[in-house]
Amino acid sequence: MNRTLLAVLTAVGVVTASCQQPALAEGVMATPDAAVKATETPGKKVAVFAGGCFWGIEAVFSHMKGVTSVVSGYHGGAKKDASYDQVGGGDTGHAEAVRVTYDPAKVRYDQLLRVFFAVGANPTQLNYQGPDHGTQYRNALVPTDKEQARVAAGYLAQLKRLDLWKRPLVTAVEPYKAFYPAESYHQDFMANNPDHGYIRRWDAPKVEALRRMFPDLYKPAFTRN
């Protein structure tokens, strides 16, 4: 469903907003600690995640300790068509994604993965998340170095063995190509638009689930760019 349309439906009461009911993120899962821990060199690291609408994924990672920047954008296609209007057609090769900069001394890559699968995205949904459908909403991990690739493969294999969702996992590991930041109005979207209908219905519950399930990793302040 188009996000603007969903916001309108929420506003008129066709869709119940999350502030009117217990905050429950779609597809929340009690994911385990990673068996394969990240061993990362000192200094800030960058990782890319695609998990449906980038507003919610940005919001989740922006509330994690050790994360210093989260940028919404596009990954997988070419620069010439890295715009919201073009990506929304679903035929550019891009996915809505976020680029996360983090300090591995405070939060490891495997911990980011655990949170991503717990509250960020449902790994059983192929080319959609919640109300958003199309290849631009695919679920993907995009490691930016060999250590992240090793840990991502290990965690995906672990989750598949555990069969927590009782349905096949379709999350892909995609090679890093280039990341193109989205338009300025998409950045820090939840912080700037807390009462937006889509945010209230789909994304605020994800942040609440992060707070509830990962109190040691959660921070109340939103990391703004």
User: CA-based angle 66:71:72, to the nearest 5?
Assistant: 135
Which residues make Cβ contacts (< 8 Å) with residue 167, sequence separation at least 6? 124
Which residues make Cβ contacts (< 8 Å) with residue 90, sequence separation at least 6? 134, 135, 136
Q: What is the greatest pairwise CA distance in the chain?
A: 51
Residue indicated by tokens 């109005």? 185
Is 53 among the catalytic positions?
yes
Kindly state the DSSP code that residue 70 receives in the 8-state scheme.
Answer: E
Catalytic residue among 15, 34, 47, 53: 53
Q: C-alpha dihedral over 52, 54, 57, 63, to 10 degrees?
A: -170
Whole-angstrom distance, CA of residue 200 vs CA of residue 97: 20
Q: Which positions are catalytic?
A: 53
